[in-house]
Amino acid sequence: MGKLEADSLELEPKLIAIRRQLHQHPELSNEEFETTAAIRQWLEEAGIRIAKYPLPTGLIAELGSTETGGPVIALRADIDALPIQEETGLPFASVQEGKMHACGHDFHTASLLGAAFLLKQREAELKGKVRLIFQPAEEKATGAQQVLRSGALDGVHAVFGLHNKPDLPVGTVGIKSGALMAAADGFKIEVDGVGTHAAVPDAGIDPIVTAAHIVTALQSIVSRNVSPLDSAVVSVTQIHSGSSWNVIPDKAVMDGTLRTFDERVRKRVRERFAQVIDGVASALDTTARLHWIQGPPPVLNDPLLAGLGKQAAEAAGLEVVEPVPSSAGEDFAFYQQQVPGLFVFIGTSGTQEWHHPGFTLDEQALPYSARFLAQLALDALESEAIIRTGETAVV
Ligand code: NI
């Protein structure tokens, strides 16, 4: 057993205690004040310096120095919870009504703290600077942009992040080059109608019939306009219209989401959305408006960093597996638009998928994720390709 592995196992009880405290006191996006205070305290107790960036919630800390000319590596964890009522029955279940760490961001926070403690023990050996990003508001997909606006990614040569993965066993890590998670856009469609008696439809314009045709026609985009070798998801998830059985209403409103793994496909689908909605509404003698809610881009992993990640995983005693990409979104992708980045899935042997009220994970994964992040930082600081910044390939 290597020294890093032994040190991570020694930390396991502390990391479990940290994760349970966070789990019991979840806070929603942009409300992570107590979570931030707790992280600050754990870092300060370990003698890790807090960096000054203007973030109302969330926190940046640093280890090492660039005085020797070494690079800056960023490790990122998200810290927010979800508006879900927990149903796990765990002794450390959420005490906040209707709030739950149902995506395991408590695990991510504890993992990054674990990596910080391991790197603190090795601070004198660091060949550059490690910046620790405890990011708020991932669930609203706005936190990464807050961190970017704060300047905390300035000067960073490479950024690394992870997400727990319930369907991968503890001890494994899913690492892949290229697309790992989807661009997650939202849309709202307003269909105009003219209200009338349900028995006299010719005196008005029925927005419900138009909305139904639009839903059906939108499904043709994935099947007819996206290559079979690419992929996309179009889901209409809400339709609101009408309030009586015998009245044709004067409008219908629909919401939904688009998921894509490629910017080219994303652009094409969006163009077709506008054409299909206008065309169907026009054919049915009415108008409709599309409101696009631009979400995070796809998570696109740098090939060179994916290779570095695989080496670090093996050195840290994790088994590397090929992950199946997820059509969920992740605002880590905004960082990857700025600097080369790698996002990985850590196996947690969970029983439920992300965002489920019964979501759980196996805490034995904590020392694995902590030492993987620490090893990754140590290796990245010594990577010639990262040091020669600008030469790393961004996919
Ligand atoms: Ni998540």
Domain containing residue 262: CATH number? 3.30.70.360
Question: How remote is the CA of residue 50 from the centroid of ligand 1, in Å?
Answer: 24
Same domain, 162 and 244: no
Question: How remote is the CA of residue 163 from the centroid of ligand 1, in Å?
Answer: 7
Q: Is residue 394 part of a domain?
A: no
Number of domains in the chain: 2
Question: How remote is the CA of residue 298 from the centroid of ligand 1, in Å?
Answer: 15
pLDDT at residue 388 in the model: 73
Same domain, 62 and 123: yes
Same domain, 354 and 332: yes
Q: Is residue 206 part of a domain?
A: yes
d(CA 313, CA 307) in angstroms, rounded, equals 10
Q: Is residue 395 part of a domain?
A: no
Question: How remote is the CA of residue 127 from the centroid of ligand 1, in Å?
Answer: 31
Question: How remote is the CA of residue 103 from the centroid of ligand 1, in Å?
Answer: 5
Question: How remote is the CA of residue 245 from the centroid of ligand 1, in Å?
Answer: 41
CB 55 within 8 A of CB 61: no
Question: How remote is the CA of residue 239 from the centroid of ligand 1, in Å?
Answer: 27
Same domain, 20 and 81: yes
In this predicted model, what pLDDT tens digit does every residue of 301-340 receive, in sequence order? Answer: 999 999 999 999 999 999 999 999 999 999 999 999 999 9
Same domain, 136 and 81: yes
Question: How remote is the CA of residue 105 from the centroid of ligand 1, in Å?
Answer: 6
Write out the H or E segment, with its range, that includes residue 76.
Answer: strand 72-78
CB 40 within 8 A of CB 59: yes
Place of tokens 């140590």: 378
Question: How remote is the CA of residue 62 from the centroid of ligand 1, in Å?
Answer: 24
Q: Is residue 174 part of a domain?
A: yes
Q: Is residue 251 part of a domain?
A: yes
In this predicted model, what pLDDT tens digit does every residue of 117-127 receive, in sequence order? Answer: 999 999 999 99
d(CA 367, CA 365) in angstroms, rounded, equals 6
Question: How remote is the CA of residue 17 from the centroid of ligand 1, in Å?
Answer: 20
**How far is C-alpha 154 from the geometric centre of its chain's CA atoms?**
21
CB 327 within 8 A of CB 145: no
Q: For residue 76, give both structure tokens.
A: 């990122």
Check whether 181 has a pLDDT greater than 50: yes
Question: How remote is the CA of residue 361 from the centroid of ligand 1, in Å?
Answer: 13
Same domain, 133 and 209: no
Candidates 322, 317, 303; CA nearest to 158 is 303
Residue-range definition of the domain harbouring residue 192: 183-293
Last residue of a domain, which of 250, 271, 293? Answer: 293
Contacts of 382 (CB under 8 A, 6+ apart): 127
In this predicted model, what pLDDT tens digit does every residue of 22-55 receive, in sequence order? Answer: 999 999 999 999 999 999 999 999 999 999 999 9
Question: How remote is the CA of residue 104 from the centroid of ligand 1, in Å?
Answer: 6
Same domain, 63 and 154: yes
CB 320 within 8 A of CB 172: yes
Q: What is the dihedral of CA 199, 204, 209, 211, to 10 degrees?
A: -140
Res. 389 pLDDT band, cuts 50 70 90: low
Last residue of a domain, which of 293, 316, 348? Answer: 293
Q: For residue 245, give both structure tokens.
A: 């059985």
